[in-house]
Amino acid sequence: MENRSEPLNYKISCTGISKNFGDTKVLEKIDLFVKENEFVVILGPGQSGKSTLFRIIAGLETPSTGTVKIEDKEVSGPEPTVGFVFQRYTLFPWKTVMGNVEMSLKLKNMPLQKRREIAQHYIDLVGLGGFEKSYPHQLSGGMKQRVGIARAYANNPKIMLMDEPFGQLDAQTRILMEQEMVRIWEAEKRTICFVTNNIEEAIFLGDRIITLEGKLPGRLGLAYEVNLPRPREFTDIEFLKLRQKITDDTQLTL
């Protein structure tokens, strides 16, 4: 299956992206086109260049070849319109939930009342109402990731890049956060690229799944449209069929 359909105004267009670090070729000929408000999952094992691809899309790394465009503008430096959620919790430990979520707005010199209003909206959206004054060390892993999502949303990004955000959570919390992610995204749509190595997570979340092949250099492989209504059921027969197909195609372990 193609991972591109034309003609469209894409939110993200990566054309011919390759990246070398010295003699190490990390990415090769990546063509990735993402539509507005699409939830794209990049499915691949560790060490396949996923983080490097995200850093290139966000303008934090320059590609060796190829171009990235956000809407019709070529990315040539750090992109303020891109929000990140990482696997590791990157909260400021000395700041409260509110302090963390409103941080980027404060840096933009937004007046206190306005930024509190926006931050509160996203704290509520991620289900953390009542925890505004808590500090990161008082929160569980799932709650910390909720703060990370609220913080990314508060900055009003055009694009959210989520790099294995639930990878460190226990299985139960992970499933809960996947459900929450769908709820949050349906409440406030964004263009999302989400990286995971977990097939079930990919099918549960994505409009489209694109595989990233495992050995360096990372190359995009097969793509799958996920035409299942949300909320999806892990035990639904169509869900299981797609899981089997991707497993057979990719040889990734379940």
The helix (run of H) or strand (run of E) holding residue 200 is helix 199-205
What residues make contact with ligand ATP under the rule CB under 6 A? 21, 24, 26, 46-52, 216
Is the Cβ of residue 18 or residue 51 nearer to ligand ATP in the bound state? 51
Is the Cβ of residue 58 or residue 128 nearer to ligand ATP in the bound state? 58
Is the Cβ of residue 5 or residue 24 nearer to ligand ATP in the bound state? 24
Shortest Cβ distance from residue 168 to ligand ATP (Å)? Answer: 12
> What gap in Å lies between CA 54 and CA 70, rounded to an integer?
13
Strands 220-225 and 208-212: antiparallel
Shortest Cβ distance from residue 4 to ligand ATP (Å)? Answer: 22
Is the Cβ of residue 24 or residue 138 nearer to ligand ATP in the bound state? 24
Shortest Cβ distance from residue 210 to ligand ATP (Å)? Answer: 14
Q: Decide if 63 contacts 144 (C-beta within 8 A).
A: no
> What gap in Å lies between CA 206 and CA 191, rounded to an integer?
11
Shortest Cβ distance from residue 15 to ligand ATP (Å)? Answer: 19
Shortest Cβ distance from residue 25 to ligand ATP (Å)? Answer: 9
Letter string b/e over residues 85-114, b meaning 16 or more CB atoms within 10 A of that residue's CB = bbbebebeeeebbbbbbbbbbeeeebeeee
Is the Cβ of residue 57 or residue 98 nearer to ligand ATP in the bound state? 57
Please name which of 47, 49, 68 lies closest in space to residue 59, comparing C-alpha atoms.
68
Q: Decide if 152 contacts 83 (C-beta within 8 A).
A: yes
